[in-house]
Structure 1
Amino acid sequence: MNKLAAFLGATAIVAATSSAAYAARTDLVLGVVLEPPHLDPTAGAAAAIDEIVYANVFEGLTRIGPNGEVQPALAESWEISDDGRTYTFKLREGATFHDGTSFEAEDVKFTLERAMADDSTNAQKVLFSAIESVEAVGPVTLKVTLEHPQGSFLYNMGWGDAVVVAPETADGNKENPVGTGPFKFENWAKGSSVTIVKNPDYWGEPVALDKAEFRFIPDAAAAIPALLSGDVHAFPMFPPDAVTQVQGDPRFEVVIGATEGETILATNNGKEPFSNLKVRQAIAHALDRDEIIMGASNGFGVPIGSHFSPANEAYVDLTGTYPYDVEKAKALLSEAGYPDGFSGTLKLPPPAYARQGGEVVASQLREIGIDLEIVPVEWAQWLEQVFTNKDYDLTIVSHTEPNDINIYARDDYYFNYDNDVFDAVIEELDRVSDPEKRNELYAKAQRIIAEDAVNGFLFQLPKTGVWDAKLEGMWENMPIQANDLTGVRWAE
């Protein structure tokens, strides 16, 4: 071999080695705060379910994009009848479930009718209440007829609660989720992590990641060393009180975005003394939102005065409805018949915004004579005691479902709130498609529950994202309770 050939050969080897050394990695470890109770988004209210499987493992007819927009998913396109009642969907041809069975219109019909059924366990059954009938016209054609026009129908079909499941595997999705998404479920190490892997038979554009692990890391004490050591590459929701410890570190990107999480002091309106409007107004006047936001989210939250996201174009700033006024709060308590105050319980689920924010709220209410016993509960206990059985006085929770002010009109909801005027507004909203009219109705709905002081409206939960600076495609905001990995990749 002459010298030139030897040199070129050596150069080729170095180039190949260098290329291999700098090839973009295809694995990802995400730190998430909560472990889900199960993995079926059509059978549970916990946001932690959708945060793992939405858009990754399961898909719906539509999906919610990073800016809150409705996008096609398993429905490639659709036509709407002139009267706004009939939607004819053209479905994706060639899509399959992870067990190899084909995806067809009959699967969507099964999914929707299952969600609508009398014995449905779907936590958002109301999403399907306007559906009159579902017909599989052909393998890839579906016709849905509504009882009345519904402006939010396509948006509703993009919720995690509306993802499509197959009749063959639906009953097993809590432990072994089978969807049509770009990732397949691989393993759930209880108490530790959930792992998903690339679906080689995906109908759409392949994802860049071969494997993603959602690791459960509930507190800042564990999150910081996990990030700094590289054991975890990304935290979609990094503990707010730890953000300052990584800001300015060039290894990481820190992105403070918005969520749909209205963080509230949820109140049992059906239980004395909280059924008394003046008591609820007194509580509202006693809440110093700025102090709560600092204690619960290190100052990153945005104050709210009703159950509505400030990022929504229909938002009305109602934070001045009951301004912070301790003396006014005491006077209202006295007028309500509680001049010496009263005692109660404050049940707090695990997230820091609840546990830390709860300490601040309890201190503030103590100033007006309301003595609260703080009761820490795990999520399973919260879902059973508070959400299902309504066995509580007060609690703190973020409602992260998108655009969900209609929950205040639901019968037997855990707030125990009942207002016929509000219900009528929501009923009208459900039938209106005109954006301007819908915004007017949203504003009216916000004012009613703000004036009724149904709950203590605290702040909009911030999305405190922290991840490796080489990662691309992580969502800045969280318009739906999800960690969508379909566009995530490592920079080469």
Structure 2
Amino acid sequence: MKLLTKSLTALAFVVAGAAIADPSGTLRESHDLGFGENSSLDPISKGRVFQMTDKLMDRLVRPGLDGSPSADLAESWSANADATVWTFNIRKGVKFHDGSGLDADDVLYSFTRVLDPDIASPARSAVKMIDSMKKTGTHTVEFTLNTPFADLPLTLMDYRLRILPEGSGDSIASTGIGTGPFKLEKLDFQGTTVLAANEDYWAGAPGVAKIEIIAIPEGQARLQAFMGGQIDILFRITEQQKTMLEGSDRYNVAQIPTGNWRGLIFRTDVEPFNDPRVRKAMRLVADREALVQLVQGGAGNVACDSPVAPNDQYRADISCPQDIEQAKALLAEAGFADGIEVNVHVATLEPTWPTLGIAYQAQAAEAGIRVNVVQTPSDGYWNRIWMKKDVAATRWKERPADQALHEIYLSTAKWNESFYKDLAFDELLASARRELNFEKRKALYVQAQEHLFENAGTLIPYTVSMNIGSSSRVQNFDAAKEEAVRWHLVTVD
């Protein structure tokens, strides 16, 4: 008896995706050039430009519009009784942009790259439970895990786990060859990158002939480009901007709840934040309800320093009201009875960061914490500021609970941005992965989140409801999280 069997037909997806006419028109989008000169089309690199890779390449498993695992390049999957061996059946007849056919060797190659410690991909921590891989047929692969893990399909929805042609690792950063609905025509990270329709796309030819992806580092400049008709799609519209845009019939704005979050990192490897009393005080001064209103205009949900999405099955129910007196007491106990002074680095790369910094500054002052908000250039923020400065703004996309907790906080994770090292926390995660009983597994993930609330170095005040804008010329655009949008269905008038 198998623990889990997932067999999905692509019929409905293909019918929905089949173009009713030849691709026509040009869709224009922007990217923020957050990785500067380190921008890349390699989906597992730190500098990957998501706005490009998600249109060039496919995954084994994609998130459906409801967030559940859906078939992409894997038509079906199943696990053995203890969820340590998983088998994935690969879609047949799929072609890469260079004309080569997709098979099991490409899948094995792609995951071997992710797991290679010499490549040191940030995505490695998400799939480190894969102990070995082999093909059991030309279009069948088998993953053997080093621990039972019933949620592997959720993890494989990761936006970076794209399937590449075997042997393409040395060139993928500039060629972007995948099986996706669009293929690279012109690459210019700092200018305009052009993608052309892949008319042989396995789910049906795209609706638009080209997509232009324009580098616009500053958030306000992106808004002006959207309002001026230079771009057609704009993610992460603020509540204030949403109100302004809704007054015009030139735009459509949709709001969707997400597990995406914004926050402030306090590096736990530097003084004074290497003292858990200090970093907890830095988090206790936050009035999270007020921040949701001040920064997000109410479009968000309070988060008690957990990176797990509000609708995730493993989300912990934690109460985290502002507590100025306890924050003062913790600071005094740590030797800072007169408070401390910190520099908080922000950028308009994320339009809400400066407002978050200023609002937090006012709240922290009540506990004697003197916050200097330091505005930094957006270009190259992730290379020069993030994981470099003692305190800096951060943002993350929604991830399944296991992946979020591992990737952001596991002691050995490459993107452990707060440099948090906690063996007790690591063991909680390991125990959760091994546990096959859902209720017991959930209890362990909840305990891990409660542990973070007491000890971690990252303030996560809220998750955001995302406002997504599209020009009135755009049709058939999914009002969904970026990684779930079916780009081949989009058309333009």
TM-score with structure 2 setting the length: 0.85
1:261 and 1:69 map into 2 onto residues whose CA distance is: 16
Paired AA for residue 468 in structure 1: S
Shift of 1:270: 1.9
1:138 and 1:379 map into 2 onto residues whose CA distance is: 48
Report the secondary structure of 2:75's partner residue.
strand
Give the direction of change, closer, same or farther, for the CA distance of 1:426–1:401 in structure 2 (3 Å limit): same
Partner residue in 1 for 2:465? 462
Between stretches 481-490 and 84-93, larger displacement belongs to 481-490
Shift of 1:224: 4.4
Shift of 1:192: 3.0
Say whether 1:396 aligns with 2:393: yes
Shift of 1:74: 1.3
C-alpha deviations, 1:161-187, integer Å up to 9, x for none? 221112343222222211111111222
Partner residue in 2 for 1:409? 410
Partner residue in 2 for 1:65? 64
Paired AA for residue 262 in structure 1: W
CA contact (8 A) 1:42 1:122 kept: no
Say whether 1:424 aligns with 2:427: yes
Partner residue in 1 for 2:203? 204
Give the direction of change, closer, same or farther, for the CA distance of 1:132–1:315 in structure 2 (3 Å limit): closer
Give the direction of change, closer, same or farther, for the CA distance of 1:431–1:257 in structure 2 (3 Å limit): same
Which runs of structure 2 are paired with 1:162-177 in the superposition (5 Å)? 162-177=161-176
Paired AA for residue 123 in structure 2: Q
Paired AA for residue 334 in structure 1: A
Paired AA for residue 308 in structure 2: F
Shift of 1:347: 2.3
Which runs of structure 2 are paired with 1:18-417 in the superposition (5 Å)? 26-34=25-33, 37-45=38-46, 49-54=49-54, 56-219=55-218, 221-305=220-304, 306-318=306-318, 320-321=319-320, 323-349=321-347, 350-378=349-377, 381-385=380-384, 387=386, 390-403=387-400, 404-406=404-406, 407-411=408-412, 413-417=416-420
CA contact (8 A) 2:346 2:373 kept: yes
Give the direction of change, closer, same or farther, for the CA distance of 1:434–1:183 in structure 2 (3 Å limit): farther
Give the direction of change, closer, same or farther, for the CA distance of 1:44–1:294 in structure 2 (3 Å limit): farther
Paired AA for residue 281 in structure 1: K
Shift of 1:33: 4.2
Shift of 1:247: 1.4
Q: Name the % identity.
A: 23
Report the secondary structure of 2:460's partner residue.
strand
C-alpha deviations, 1:344-403, integer Å up to 9, x for none? 32222431222221222233323433333433445675434555xx43221121121512
Report the secondary structure of 1:410's partner residue.
coil
Report the secondary structure of 1:165's partner residue.
coil
Shift of 1:303: 1.7
CA contact (8 A) 1:80 1:87 kept: yes
Give the direction of change, closer, same or farther, for the CA distance of 1:435–1:27 in structure 2 (3 Å limit): farther
Give the direction of change, closer, same or farther, for the CA distance of 1:103–1:254 in structure 2 (3 Å limit): same
CA contact (8 A) 1:41 1:50 kept: no
Partner residue in 2 for 1:485? 487
Give the direction of change, closer, same or farther, for the CA distance of 1:151–1:25 in structure 2 (3 Å limit): same
1:41 and 1:474 map into 2 onto residues whose CA distance is: 26
Shift of 1:58: 0.8
Give the direction of change, closer, same or farther, for the CA distance of 1:461–1:173 in structure 2 (3 Å limit): farther
Report the secondary structure of 2:109's partner residue.
helix
Between stretches 341-350 and 174-183, larger displacement belongs to 341-350
1:210 and 1:410 map into 2 onto residues whose CA distance is: 45
2:210 and 2:405 map into 1 onto residues whose CA distance is: 36
Paired AA for residue 39 in structure 2: H
State the number of aligned residues: 463
Report the secondary structure of 1:162's partner residue.
coil
Shift of 1:490: 4.2
Aligned-residue RMSD, C-alpha: 2.7
Report the secondary structure of 2:248's partner residue.
coil
> Unpaired segments of 5 or more residues in structure 1?
1-21
1:416 and 1:220 map into 2 onto residues whose CA distance is: 28
CA contact (8 A) 1:261 1:398 kept: yes
Between stretches 220-229 and 400-409, larger displacement belongs to 220-229
Shift of 1:274: 1.0
Give the direction of change, closer, same or farther, for the CA distance of 1:360–1:188 in structure 2 (3 Å limit): farther
2:183 and 2:423 map into 1 onto residues whose CA distance is: 45
Give the direction of change, closer, same or farther, for the CA distance of 1:221–1:271 in structure 2 (3 Å limit): closer
TM-score with structure 1 setting the length: 0.85
Between stretches 285-294 and 392-401, larger displacement belongs to 285-294
Report the secondary structure of 1:175's partner residue.
helix
Report the secondary structure of 1:262's partner residue.
strand
CA contact (8 A) 2:105 2:166 kept: no
1:187 and 1:419 map into 2 onto residues whose CA distance is: 45
1:337 and 1:200 map into 2 onto residues whose CA distance is: 66
Partner residue in 2 for 1:11? none
2:82 and 2:277 map into 1 onto residues whose CA distance is: 45
2:299 and 2:474 map into 1 onto residues whose CA distance is: 23
Between stretches 31-40 and 324-333, larger displacement belongs to 31-40
2:220 and 2:491 map into 1 onto residues whose CA distance is: 28
1:204 and 1:259 map into 2 onto residues whose CA distance is: 27
Partner residue in 1 for 2:5? none
Paired AA for residue 308 in structure 1: V
C-alpha deviations, 1:303-351, integer Å up to 9, x for none? 2112221122332342x33x22334322322222101122232222431
Give the direction of change, closer, same or farther, for the CA distance of 1:169–1:376 in structure 2 (3 Å limit): farther
1:141 and 1:486 map into 2 onto residues whose CA distance is: 26
Report the secondary structure of 2:352's partner residue.
helix
2:252 and 2:148 map into 1 onto residues whose CA distance is: 44
2:472 and 2:211 map into 1 onto residues whose CA distance is: 17
Say whether 1:440 aligns with 2:438: no
Give the direction of change, closer, same or farther, for the CA distance of 1:24–1:142 in structure 2 (3 Å limit): closer
Paired AA for residue 267 in structure 2: N
